[in-house]
Amino acid sequence: MSVHGLHRVLEPPGVLPQRADRLDPTPVCGPDEVLVDVGLLNLDAASFRQLREAHGPGIRDAVLDIVAARGKMQNPVTGSGGMLLGTVREVGPDSPLGLRPGDRVATLVSLTLTPLTITGMDWDGTTEQVPCRGTAILFARSIAAVLPDDLPDALALAVLDVCGAPALTDRVVRRHDRPVVLVLGAGGKSGTLSLVAARRAGASRVIGLVPHEAEADRVRRSGLADEVVTADARDPLAVVAALAGGTPAHPTETAPATPSGTGADVTVVCVDVPGCEHGAILATADGGTIVFFSMATSFTAAALGAEGLAADVEMLVGNGYVPGHAAFALDIVRTEPAVRAVFEHRQTPQP
């Protein structure tokens, strides 16, 4: 039995579970596996957006069809999945995860590699969180967090879904000396956490970019960014123009000199739509770092775009895992009421 889950791959042979077209989700616990009774899925933002736009009211059936066909939840268009919440039913004698039957857990590995069955679903398709019934299998190399007692389950799950973003932002910002940090998609879950992480890590200035003025007003009122600007992150020139004429975070504050005169030292991309690579590159100073957290990121667009612009920037893929990332993100939500408010707002069904 493979600690990586190779024994659950049905096709094609020889690939890891994340790359597999189909997994075996049979709810029988192997010696080093953990069997979980699933209560809630949390679809990643890029996948949810694509499914909602493509299927509308048929999104529920679309998710069920994907899981039935693939033995896991992996959007065939975006390639992404999400994570889940559930209760441990059984733990194999050789499992190294330290879980016990009855533990209420959130998986910190993607649904794209988690064997999954769904036997029932109570979901109207209006939010990323999918109440359902089913089973999931965790491998020896999986990661799961026991749910905290002091936060509602839905809130904890939403935070844990993006907990890699603030932890890696913290690590990258600390490598620089009081950097200017730009967060694209600053009004979302990962973007909000990254704003706080950047400030705590010693950023000299934190700039948030959002697409609409209403969202900009919310971020300004939160006080989480020093400056908030609006632009379509898919429009590189609009991003640069917005930064050049940055709107103060507070009405009484004087607009600073062009923050993008030499570009941001660290740019964090948390936008859940394709096409934001070139704006991030243009907004980043030579020698700076771009962290791509969006599952909609194109490696080709990022790599060739930087080359074509002769941009000397380091580009990192946020892989969702940094040691201690769960505790780091949960601490931000516990200690920053404005961050918690953002998460609770996003859990409200949107028309």
At 258 the pLDDT is 36
Question: Lowest-confidence range among 84-93, 110-119, 169-178, 295-304?
Answer: 295-304
Residue 99 in contact with residue 176, Cβ under 8 Å?
Answer: no
At 150 the pLDDT is 95
At 255 the pLDDT is 36
Residue 288 sits at φ, ψ, to 5 deg, of: -85, 180
Q: Token pair for residue 174?
A: 């600390």
Per residue in 144-162, pLDDT tens?
999 999 999 889 988 998 9
Q: What is the mean pLDDT of the chain?
A: 92
177-206: string of b/e by CB count within 10 Å (b at 16+)? eebbbbbbbbbbbbbbbbbbbbbbbebebb
Task: Please choose, from the candidates 311, 260, 256, the residue with its C-alpha nearest in 3D space to the C-alpha of residue 289.
Answer: 311
DSSP secondary structure letters along 129-184: EEEEEEEEEE-TT--EEEPPSSS-HHHHHHHHHTTHHHHHHHHHHHTSSS-EEEEE
**What does the DSSP 8-state code read for residue 22?**
E
Separation CA 173–CA 186 (nearest Å): 16
Domains of the chain: 6-147 (3.90.180), 163-341 (3.40.50.720)
Query: Could you identify the residue written with the tokens 């991309």?
Result: 269
Per residue in 17-35, pLDDT tens?
999 999 999 999 999 999 9
Binning pLDDT at 50, 70 and 90, where does residue 223 land? very high
Binning pLDDT at 50, 70 and 90, where does residue 251 land? very low
User: What's the average model confidence in pLDDT over 273-293?
Assistant: 96
User: Coil, strand, or helix at residue 288?
Assistant: strand
Give the max Cα distance, the chain.
63
Helices (H), the chain: 45-55, 59-70, 153-161, 164-174, 189-200, 213-222, 236-244, 277-282, 299-308, 325-335, 337-346
Percentage with pLDDT > 70 across the chain: 94
At 248 the pLDDT is 46
